[in-house]
């Protein structure tokens, strides 16, 4: 029986569970995860995958397009995105020239202009571009892709970079969805992460976007930032919920200063303890549910009538590199520095630095520097992990029908691990299904990790005292 996604038990896991499951693990915006990509997949391999798309069933299916804009005017200390911090806006012109070349090369390999049902600009800060540059970019995209009339066209927005005039321009260009990066409204927390913006300014931008007819407004929040407490974050939840964004993406801060230089400006002693982080998450779940939101999963909430909430109730939820999505599993064509494409059973990631990205294009190549070709086992495990991450339920029959396997036979050791999690109250293992419990949603990444074959070569085996251990290159799941 499916759990009711509108009902949530917000009790906090006990200290023993916190201790045993406070481990590093992937977020599973893809499987296999990007750390498994290798240099054996290059621009030629990616070009072959794009060309083969025209001869398969995907040719008649709409694709999704992502464009990465890396520039930011100032650094936010928590940030782990691929970005270039600069106040030299003239650098955007060279980048747009490069994007135009990349689009032309991708289009050459695809043949006819592919239909697109979802278009997303992310970063960095896409609104670093001027109005004229955004107009040029959208014109290029429409030249090379058939963007459907009812397509979701979204852009990530730093509220400090726009006003009513810029919002009006975005709407005129066809954008119908916005994602505001808010993170926290507490002034002390904002100063600690170098991202100051008032609640009043955000509210004004929300009102302006609604007046202009944007279909959906998302707000990004982060818990676990320096100086946050359960009480202060509860105030943030209250104030954000009062603004009534259609969706909220709530991410746990991952402190990895050895990988991300800006995070070295954050004192580890100022970060909340794992128990407090979990209280923030539990309080956010309770706070949003009590104000009419549905809990979509790990890091997303939506108003009950939002398409994301409807998709969750109807079992149509998907997950990709941008998080949870209503779009069916489809090819993702990603453009720009560090962007990751998924075409058929192939992942391809562009060069991570602007010099390498530009050099590849000058040399006549697609700017791919690494990727992965999925094998049959990858495809089976991807479907299993995405079922757990999206629906909180792994039904055996659809997996067996799609892949011609017996789930109990194929995943004997994995199901044995889940039996131990069942004893902890995180899942229930039924004759033909695995169901994540409300308590288990706190640890859903650990549940999914039980099926990750690639972690097997890196981790210590699961023991009575805890789950499988992923390498430290991943963030902690709590």
The answer on whether 364 is annotated among ligand-binding residues is no
User: Quick one: which of 304, 318, 349, 324 has its CA closest to 42?
Assistant: 349
Q: Is 220 annotated as a binding residue?
A: yes
416's CB contacts (< 8 A; 6+ apart) are none
Contacts with 26 (C-beta within 8 Å, 6 or more apart), sequence order? 33, 445, 448, 449, 452, 470, 474
Report how far Cα 313 is from the mean position of its chain's Cα atoms.
20
Measured between alpha carbons, how far is 156 from 83 in angstroms, rounded to an integer? 14
Determine the Cα–Cα distance for residues 268 and 199; give it in Å rounded to an integer: 27
> CA dihedral defined by 466, 472, 473, 476, rounded to 10 degrees?
50
405 is an annotated ligand-binding site residue: no
- Is 14 annotated to bind a ligand? Reply is no
Strand ranges for 124-273 from DSSP E:
146-157, 177-183, 216-223, 247-252
Residue 180 annotated as lining a ligand binding site: no
Token pair, residue 234, equals 């509860």
Cα 139 to Cα 111, 117, 132, 449, distances in angstroms: 19, 16, 11, 42
For residue 43, say whether it is annotated as part of any ligand binding site.
Answer: no
Task: Determine if residue 125 is labeled as part of a ligand binding site.
Answer: yes
The CA distance from 61 to 82, in Å, is: 30
CA distance 108 to 144: 10
- Say if residue 306 carries a ligand binding annotation: no
CA distance 281 to 223: 7
Q: Is 295 annotated as belonging to a binding site? A: no
Question: What radius of gyration do the chain's Cα atoms show?
Answer: 22
Is-contact 65 110, C-beta < 8 A? no
Distances (CA, A) of 375 to 13, 368, 378: 37, 20, 5
CB 155 within 8 A of CB 128: no
Determine if residue 86 is labeled as part of a ligand binding site.
no
Task: Tell me whether residue 151 is annotated as binding.
Answer: no
Distance (Å, rounded) from C-alpha 341 to C-alpha 321? 9
98 annotated to a ligand binding site: no
Instruction: Check if the beta carbon of residue 414 is closer than 8 Å to that of residue 431.
Output: no
Query: Is 45 flagged in the annotation as binding?
Result: no
Give the start-end residues of each E strand in 38-135. Answer: 63-69, 71-72, 84-85, 115-123
| CA geometry: angle 472, 67, 44, nearest 5 deg | 80
Residues of each annotated binding site for S-adenosyl-L-methionine: 66, 78-80, 123-125, 156, 183, 195, 220, 254, 340
Residues of each annotated binding site for [4Fe-4S] cluster: 72, 76, 79
Residues of each annotated binding site: 66, 72, 76, 78-80, 123-125, 156, 183, 195, 220, 254, 340
């Amino acid at each position: 029986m499916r759990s009711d996604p509108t009902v949530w038990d917000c009790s906090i896991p006990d200290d023993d569970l916190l201790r045993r499951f406070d481990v590093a693990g992937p977020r599973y915006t893809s499987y296999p995860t990007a750390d498994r990509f290798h240099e054996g997949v290059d621009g030629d391999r990616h070009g072959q995958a794009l060309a083969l798309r025209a001869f398969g069933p995907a040719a008649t299916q709409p694709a999704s397009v992502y464009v990465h804009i890396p520039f930011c005017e100032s650094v936010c200390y928590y940030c782990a995105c691929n970005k270039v911090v600069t106040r030299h806006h003239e650098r955007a012109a060279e980048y747009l020239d490069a994007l135009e070349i990349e689009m032309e090369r991708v289009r050459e390999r695809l043949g006819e202009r592919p239909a697109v049902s979802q278009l997303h600009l992310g970063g960095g800060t896409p609104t670093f571009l001027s109005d004229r540059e955004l107009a040029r970019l959208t014109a290029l995209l429409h030249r090379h892709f058939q963007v459907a009339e009812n397509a979701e066209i979204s852009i990530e927005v730093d509220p400090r970079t726009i006003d009513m005039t810029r919002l009006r321009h975005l709407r005129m260009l066809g954008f119908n969805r916005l994602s505001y990066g808010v993170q926290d409204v507490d002034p002390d927390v904002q100063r600690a992460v170098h991202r100051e913006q008032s609640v009043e300014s955000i509210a004004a931008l929300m009102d302006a976007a609604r007046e202009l007819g944007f279909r959906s407004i998302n707000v990004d929040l982060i818990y676990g930032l320096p100086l946050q407490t359960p009480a202060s974050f509860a105030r943030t939840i209250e104030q954000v919920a009062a603004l009534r964004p259609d969706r909220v993406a709530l991410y746990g801060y991952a402190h990895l200063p050895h990988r991300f230089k800006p995070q070295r400006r954050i004192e580890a002693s100022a970060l909340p303890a794992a128990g407090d982080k979990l209280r923030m998450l539990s309080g956010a779940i309770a706070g949003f549910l009590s104000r009419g939101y549905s809990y979509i999963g790990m890091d997303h909430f939506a108003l009950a009538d939002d398409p994301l909430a409807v998709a969750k109730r109807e079992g149509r939820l998907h997950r990709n590199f941008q998080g949870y999505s209503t779009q069916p599993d489809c090819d993702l064509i990603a453009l720009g520095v560090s962007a990751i494409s998924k075409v058929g059973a192939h992942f391809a990631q562009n060069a991570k630095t602007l010099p390498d990205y530009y050099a590849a294009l000058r040399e006549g190549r697609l700017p791919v520097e690494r990727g992965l070709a999925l094998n049959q086992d990858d495809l089976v495990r991807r479907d299993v992990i995405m079922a757990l991450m999206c629906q909180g339920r792994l039904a055996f029959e659809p997996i067996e029908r799609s892949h011609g396997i017996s789930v109990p036979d194929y995943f004997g050791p994995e199901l044995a691990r889940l039996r131990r999690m069942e004893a902890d109250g995180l899942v229930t293992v039924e004759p033909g299904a695995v169901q994540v419990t409300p308590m288990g949603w706190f640890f859903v990444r650990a549940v999914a990790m039980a099926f990750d074959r690639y972690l097997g070569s890196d981790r210590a085996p699961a023991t009575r005292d805890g789950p499988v251990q992923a390498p430290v290159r991943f963030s902690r799941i709590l």
